């Protein structure tokens, strides 16, 4: 393991404290507000069972994927597909609620990443490289979406720390430790496992000629590798067995599956090959970070040439190659065979490309600091011409474009990219101004630091986690629902249903998030909307009794004629089935809006789904 004592502790700890301070400021709303969480954390509502095993006696959401172990009467919930992740949260549940633990997990993972990055850069170059790499990583990590962010608290957020540790140990030729990281990858987040396995495997290939190679079969390298892969494979087979939907190909090809369409719950292609589950990046915010890093990487290549490429450790190149291999393999299995056995293609490239670009820019930043001012001085006319031409082009386009509103995304795009560049250059001013005489240096540094922080937080705020932020009315509903019996089952407004299991710790029939998790949802979601717009109390009562629903949460806006006319009730393919259930010209005298509520807040009403409340009201 890395010891802080060998890493110039004062310098390393300073970097860690600065990074944690920036994190506490940038993530303040998310960290201190229970209801602001990454959307996908709602998938882990079941972790509330760690502190109360009586919760969710009927679970319509996780019909598979969880395993239960009875230990002297205690029903332990296991999460085989990410066994280590679930186990860590179980241990933490003895001290803290899982929602808060997920929020503050970044305060554990960030120092871990910084220690290994600092040590890696210091061993490859010097302490300036270590500081540069660590701070650049912190900035772009804080500006990352939940797809790769270690601040999400999700198991996917552990992939970056795992890969950083793996790259460090492999670059230091500490094969036992690298092999242990392979096992940990399989234990925590299985898309990280094939990346580490391939990366380790590539390190065993010794090229003797462009077309000739040999394998390094040194037992000290091979033995730890096979042991770790074997142990991890046992865990992964168990996890995939508990999640047969990953292994079994779909009956309907994914390219024809409405669930993966643009109007579906999980679009496969948004702007191929860039965005979507089958794209290189999962979200648009990921590519913004990539573009900013790519711009600086291009300048670095211009300044340092091939030497810049040589500064990346071989382990980094192995990992990049592994990412592309897994992207192609996953794309073929998902799109070609409609199987998720290798999960989704973007899960590999979005993490590997992010880490590789951070390594490239961070390890070469000292050269950038030294050579960039001179390069700017030499190229000043061309640089001025470029920015003037860009500004004039945008101004002309704004003046002659038929719809100026369409230019707003483009202007935002240039603004946010510029903000990322200004932040990196502003932070570098501490190096460039070191020779400036006092007191001018102090004044300039204070000004540039203030500007850098303001622009940097603007960049982070626009690109980072984007947690859900329930309205005050939704929060009131969550608080009220949490006071109802533990065996209560709710159906209703899909957005509110997504939050009830997490915040209220009560069961729901379906929700807005990943409705496809229950294969029967194609039946009961249309039946719910049929009941919601029913005129007969018996239709509603039959629905509730069929699925043991005890309460309905209504969004009164969904009874507005304009909403009904749009006929956009839910995602596809459910929406098409809903329309089949409803009359082509739905009536406006629905029953549910007339049923007395037991609680209301804003547009939301909670009603009991019982014969007393429904038939008695009629």
> What's the per-residue H, E or C state across 223-251?
HHHHHHHHHHHHHHHHHHHHCHHHHCCCC
Does residue 183 lie in a domain region?
Answer: no
What angle, rounded to 10 degrees, do the helices at 365-378 and 127-142 form?
Answer: 90
What's the number of domains the chain is made of?
A: 1
Residue 569 lies in a domain: yes
Return d(Cα 569, Cα 584) in angstroms, integer: 14
Question: What is the per-residue pLDDT for 616?
Answer: 65
Q: Look up residue 121 and give its two tokens.
A: 């850069």
Q: Report the DSSP beta bridge partners of residue 37.
A: 468
What is the rounded distance in angstroms from the CA atom of residue 468 to the CA atom of residue 470? 6
Report the C-alpha gap between 409 and 412 in whole angstroms.
5
Token look-up 């717009």 returns 533
Longest CA–CA span in the chain (Å) reads: 85
pLDDT of residue 1: 42
- Whether 267 is covered by a domain: the verdict is no
Asked if residue 152 lies in contact with residue 40, where contact means CB atoms within 8 angstroms, the answer is yes
Look up tokens 């069929």; give the residue: 546
Helical ranges in 243-345 per DSSP H: 244-247, 284-304, 306-310, 314-331
Q: In this structure, are strands 507-508 and 489-492 parallel, antiparallel, or unpaired? A: parallel
Paired sense of beta strands 74-78 and 599-601, if any: unpaired
User: What is the pLDDT, as a whole number, of residue 401?
Assistant: 64
Answer yes or no: is 222 within a domain: no
In a domain, 538, yes or no: yes
Q: What is the CATH number of the domain that holds 555?
A: 3.40.50
Q: What pLDDT sits at residue 558?
A: 93
Residue 275 pairs in a beta bridge with 271
- 553 lies in a domain? yes
Q: Which residue has the tokens 């095993």?
A: 53
**Who's near 461: CB < 8 A, 6+ residues apart?**
26
Half-sphere exposure in the Cβ direction for 122 (13 Å, CA): 17
In terms of DSSP bridges, do strands 551-555 and 489-492 run parallel, antiparallel, or are they unpaired? Answer: parallel
pLDDT score, position 6: 47
User: Which residues in the chain come in under a pLDDT of 50?
Assistant: 1-7
Residue 94 included in any domain: no
The two tokens of residue 2 are 């890395």
Q: pTM here?
A: 0.91
Structure tokens at 477: 């509903």
Annotate 434-450 with b (16+ C-beta within 10 A) or e (fewer).
eeeeeeeeeeeeeebee
Tell whether the torsion through CA atoms of 93, 97, 100 and 103 is positive or negative: positive
Per the CB < 8 A criterion, the answer to whether 143 and 459 are in contact is: yes
590 lies in which domain range? Answer: 472-614
Tens-place pLDDT, residues 523-570: 999 999 999 999 889 999 999 999 999 999 999 999 998 898 888 999
d(CA 283, CA 342): 20
- Going by C-alpha positions, the residue among 383, 465, 385, 461 that lies closest to residue 149 is 465
Output the DSSP codes for 57-101: SS-SS-SSS-EEEEETTEEEEE-GGGHHHHHHHHHHTTTS-HHHH
**Closest by alpha carbon to 40, among 161, 194, 157?**
157
Query: The tokens 């954390």 sit on which residue?
Result: 41
- pLDDT of amino acid 290: 92
Residues β-bridged to residue 70:
75
DSSP-derived letter for residue 43 is G
Six token digits for residue 22: 């920036």
Answer whether residue 600 is part of any domain: yes
Q: How far apart are CA 189 and CA 157, in angstroms?
A: 9
Q: Within 151-283, where are the H helices?
A: 159-171, 175-188, 192-203, 219-242, 244-247
pLDDT in tens, 361-411: 999 999 998 988 888 888 888 888 888 887 887 777 767 665 666 677 777
Half-sphere exposure of residue 125: CA atoms within 13 angstroms, side-chain side? 24
């Amino acid at each position: 393991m890395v010891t802080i004592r060998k890493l110039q502790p004062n310098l390393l700890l300073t970097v860690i404290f600065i990074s944690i301070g920036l994190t506490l400021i940038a993530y303040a709303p998310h960290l201190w507000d229970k209801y602001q969480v990454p959307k996908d954390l709602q998938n882990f509502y079941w972790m509330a069972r760690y502190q109360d095993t009586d919760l969710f006696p009927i679970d319509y959401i996780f019909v598979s994927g969880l395993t239960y172990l009875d230990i002297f009467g205690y029903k332990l919930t296991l999460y085989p597909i990410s066994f280590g992740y679930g186990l860590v949260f179980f241990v933490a549940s003895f001290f803290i609620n899982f929602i808060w633990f997920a929020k503050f997990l970044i305060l554990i993972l960030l120092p871990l990443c910084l220690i290994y990055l600092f040590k890696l850069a210091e061993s490859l170059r010097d302490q300036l490289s270590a500081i540069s790499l660590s701070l650049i990583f912190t900035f772009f990590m804080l500006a990352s979406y939940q797809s790769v962010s270690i601040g999400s608290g999700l198991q996917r957020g552990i992939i970056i720390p795992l890969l950083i540790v793996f790259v460090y140990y492999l670059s230091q030729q500490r094969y036992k430790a690298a092999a242990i990281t392979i096992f940990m990858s399989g234990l925590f987040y299985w898309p990280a496992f094939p990346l580490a396995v391939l990366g380790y495997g590539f390190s065993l290939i010794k090229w003797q000629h462009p077309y000739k190679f040999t394998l390094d079969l040194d037992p000290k390298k091979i033995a730890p590798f096979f042991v770790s892969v074997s142990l991890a494979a046992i865990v992964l087979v168990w996890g995939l067995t508990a999640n047969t939907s990953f292994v079994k190909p779909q009956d309907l090809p994914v390219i024809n599956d409405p669930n993966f369409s643009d109007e579906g719950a999980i679009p496969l292609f948004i702007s191929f090959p860039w965005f979507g589950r089958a794209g290189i990046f999962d979200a648009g915010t990921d590519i913004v970070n990539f573009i900013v890093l790519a711009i600086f990487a291009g300048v670095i290549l211009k300044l340092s040439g091939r030497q810049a490429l040589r500064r990346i450790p071989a382990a980094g190149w192995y990992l990049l190659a592994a990412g592309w291999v897994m992207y192609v393999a996953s794309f073929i299995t998902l799109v070609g065979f409609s199987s998720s056995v290798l999960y989704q293609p973007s899960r590999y490239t979005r993490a590997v490309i992010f880490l590789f670009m951070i390594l490239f820019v961070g390890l070469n930043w000292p050269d950038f600091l030294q050579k960039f001012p001179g390069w700017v001085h030499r190229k000043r006319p061309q640089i001025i011409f470029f920015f003037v031409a860009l500004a004039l082009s945008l101004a002309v386009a704004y003046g002659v474009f038929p719809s100026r509103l369409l230019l707003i995304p483009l202007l935002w795009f240039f603004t946010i990219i510029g903000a990322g560049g200004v932040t990196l250059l502003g932070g570098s001013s501490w190096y460039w101004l070191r020779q400036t005489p006092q007191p001018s240096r102090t004044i300039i540094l204070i000004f540039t630091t203030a500007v850098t922080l303001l622009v940097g937080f603007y960049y982070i705020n626009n690109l980072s986690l984007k947690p859900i932020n329930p309205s005050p009315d939704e929060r009131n509903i969550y608080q009220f629902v949490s006071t109802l019996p533990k065996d209560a089952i709710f159906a209703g407004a899909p957005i509110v249903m997504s939050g009830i299991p997490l915040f209220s710790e009560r069961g729901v029939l379906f929700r807005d998030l990943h409705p496809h998790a229950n294969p029967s949802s194609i039946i009961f979601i249309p039946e719910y909307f049929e009941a919601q717009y029913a005129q007969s109390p018996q239709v509603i009562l039959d629905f509730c009794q069929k699925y043991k629903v005890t309460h309905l949460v209504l969004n009164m806006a969904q009874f507005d004629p304009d909403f009904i006319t749009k006929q956009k009730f839910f995602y596809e393919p459910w929406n098409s089935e809903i329309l089949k259930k409803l009359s082509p010209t739905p009536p406006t005298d629905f029953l549910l809006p007339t049923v007395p509520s037991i609680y209301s807040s804003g547009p939301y009403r909670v009603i009991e789904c019982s014969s007393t409340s429904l038939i008695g009201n009629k």
